[in-house]
Each structure stands twice: as C-alpha cells, then as structure tokens.
Amino acid sequence: MTVKQDKNGKWLAQIDRQGIPRVRKSFPDRITAEKFEREYLARYATKINANADQRSLKELVELWFEYHGLNLSDGERRRVCLLDIATALKNPVASQFTAEQFVQYRAARLRAGLSQKTFNNHHGYLSSVFNKLRKLRVIDFDNPLSEVDFIKIQERQLSYLSRDQIDTLLDAIKTGCKNQSTWYVAQLCLRTGARWGEAEQLRFKQLHSGRVTFEFTKGKKTRTIPLDAWFYADLLRFCGYKNPDDRIFDNCIGAFRRAVARTDLDLPAGQCSHILRHSFASHFMMKGGNILSLQKILGHADISMTMRYAHLSPDHLQDAVKLNPIADAGSIPDDET
C-alpha cells in the first residue's frame, strides 16, 4: 500500500503508477485513506492492465540470458534452471508476478524435498533476472522479490577428508581405476585446491616451470600454483609428447565416483569431487597457512568464502584463552575435579 502517516498525524494516499494520473491526498484517518486508494485504483484498473508489460516470465529469462547470462560461466545452466522455475510457476506475466506467488511456490518446493540451500540459489537466480533487466531498462517495474527474505540456514562446518581417508581414496583409485587420468586429477585437486573440472580440462601449455596455471575458472581469473618437484616431474612423464593445446587428461569423473563407491567413505551429498578442494583448504589452515594466501590459491573473489576455513587455524581466536575473565584463576582446585 502507498498509504502512510505524515508528521502532522494525517494519513497520506499517494499514487504514482504508469498510465494513470498521479494523485496525492490527505485524510484524517487510515481507513478513509485506504478506501480512497482502492477505489481510485479500481477506477483505472482497465487502463493499467492495458498499458502493463505483458511479457511472460520465460520471455524475461531469455532476455536476461541474451543480455547477461551468456557471459556467465554457468549461464546456460542458470537459464535451464530459470526456465524450469517459470514452468513450475505456470509462466505468469512477469509484471504481474507477486511476492505472495513466489512464497507459495517456495513452500511447495520445500515440501517436495528441495533443500533450503538449493532454493536460496534459485531465489537468487530469479531475483537477479528482475534486477539486471531493470538496471538495463528492459523492464520498468520493480523486482517483485525485493522484499522476500532468503531462508536463514544454520551454518555448518565444511566436511573434509582426514589423511587416512585421503590415503584410502587414493589407494582405491590407484588399484581400481583403469583410467590413469583419475589418479593425477585427484592429486592435482588435493595439491592445489582446484575444482575437478579445472584440473580435468588442463592443457599441456598450462604446465610450466614447476607450476600449473588454471584457466577458465569459475571466477574467470587465471591462477598459478606451484607443485612438488617430484610430482611435477611425474606429471610431465605422464603427459609424454604433447602439443601445447593438447589436453593432458581423459574425462574421468565417472571413474572417480566409482572409486569413491568402492570405499567406506560417507561423503556429503553433492560433494563427491568437491570434497578434495575442501580437504586441501582445511589441511592448509590446520598446518598454519595464511588465510589471504588461501584466498589467492582457491581463487575466491570474496574473502568471506575463504573465511569458512579460518577456524581450523591453530591460532584461531586464541585470545579467548588468554583474555577470558577467569584466565588468571589457574587450574581447577582438587576438590572441584
């Protein structure tokens, strides 16, 4: 509603919508002001509907993809996801889509078993369609989701593999995978924090001077990480004679998943290969690594992403031990043990 109380205690009805005359009028009480607003809008309802943007939600998704999405590394995946959302919403006229419709859709998807985190991702994708097209002046109406809060999710510690679990996994790969690329790609992920796809798609020119350079990353920035001398030499031996643009590895994610299935490792859903990246970052911090160095190695644009691993540092918030109010009390007396 556009009714609000002014500093003099009167209630102001202010209507400023495309296609109808603007009006601003004061009333002694809220009920009268709201009644005026309803009747005024009803009087011009036909004209409003005639002038409204009649493009469907799917049409806006396609425009978003054309003007912005195709430049994203995951743009096509987002486009498919957004079209699925539009279908589930029965492809409404975008300018008439409301926050209430979206909240009802959210409740239905969560009841059907979609995780809260995944829905928050979908919420962000759809909201960005309206925001981006509004910014580009493709649409002239506000984002209907601007006042809908994301679901608050309890933060949890990221899972990682212990050294024994890593050895178990590498042994399963070494002894059970006919595709030799699997072992080297897993090694690269554990040694550099690379995403599986970044390592699997490496070309020979990306190896140089004892280092590996990852290109076409999620953040669209290259990053170069040094490797152990013995592993780098072994990797070159595996490569054999290749041209600079030749791929080093065969596709091997399927072989990796089968190797995991042969172990007793219980990995979090959706983290089969990504657990290697989490394991690198977690062990890096537990061994005293610098959080800013870790940010550069992982290629995080936002330090808040890297801070998820900060608590694993040996000196994380150690001042709590020295500066708590009873830090000088010494050990617990014998009669209290």
- Architecture label for domain 163-312: Orthogonal Bundle (1.10)
Q: Which of these is catalytic: 191, 277, 278, 283?
A: 277
**Which of 181, 213, 215 has the alpha carbon at shortest distance from 200?**
181
Domain parsing of the chain, residue ranges: 3-51, 57-135, 163-312
Q: Over the stretch 220-255, which tens digit does the pLDDT of each residue have? A: 789 999 999 999 999 999 999 999 999 999 999 999
Q: Which of these is catalytic: 109, 203, 218, 308?
A: 218
309 belongs to the catalytic site: yes
pLDDT for residue 85: 96
pLDDT for residue 25: 85
Spatial neighbors of 1 by CB under 8 A, at least 6 apart, are 34, 37
**The tokens 């603007």 sit on which residue?**
22
**The tokens 């859903």 sit on which residue?**
269
β-pair type (11-15, 3-5): antiparallel
pLDDT for residue 179: 94
Q: How far apart are the first and last CA of the chain?
A: 64
| DSSP summary character for residue 17 | -
Q: Over the stretch 135-164, which tens digit does the pLDDT of each residue have? A: 998 998 889 998 899 998 877 778 899 999
Write out the two tokens for 199: 């390592």
* Helix boundaries (H) for the chain: 30-43, 45-51, 57-67, 75-88, 99-111, 116-135, 163-176, 181-192, 196-200, 229-239, 253-261, 274-286, 291-298, 303-306, 319-323
Q: Over the stretch 303-337, which tens digit does the pLDDT of each residue have? A: 989 999 999 999 888 888 888 888 887 665 555 54
Per cent of the chain over pLDDT 90 is 62
Question: C-alpha angle with apex 23: 17 to 29, nearest 5 degrees?
Answer: 115
Q: Which of these is catalytic: 205, 258, 274, 308?
A: 274
Q: Which of these is catalytic: 195, 223, 278, 283?
A: 195
Rounded to whole angstroms, the Cα distance separating 120 from 98 reads 17
Q: Which of these is catalytic: 30, 58, 262, 300?
A: 300
What sign has the CA pseudo-torsion 161, 163, 169, 170? positive
Contact 288, 313 (CB under 8 A): yes
pLDDT band per the 50, 70, 90 thresholds, residue 283: very high
Contact 268, 161 (CB under 8 A): no
| DSSP summary character for residue 307 | G
Q: Per-residue pLDDT averaged across 282-297, rounded?
A: 95
pLDDT for residue 51: 55
pLDDT for residue 72: 85
Phi, psi (rounded to 5 degrees) for 114: -70, 135
Neighbour count for residue 31 (Cβ, 10 Å): 11
Spatial neighbors of 40 by CB under 8 A, at least 6 apart, are 13, 15, 23
Q: Per-residue pLDDT averaged across 111-131, rounded?
A: 94
What sign has the CA pseudo-torsion 259, 265, 268, 269? positive
pTM recorded for the entire structure:
0.69
Residue 284 has pLDDT above 80, yes or no: yes
Crossing angle of helices 57-67/75-88, nearest 10°? 170
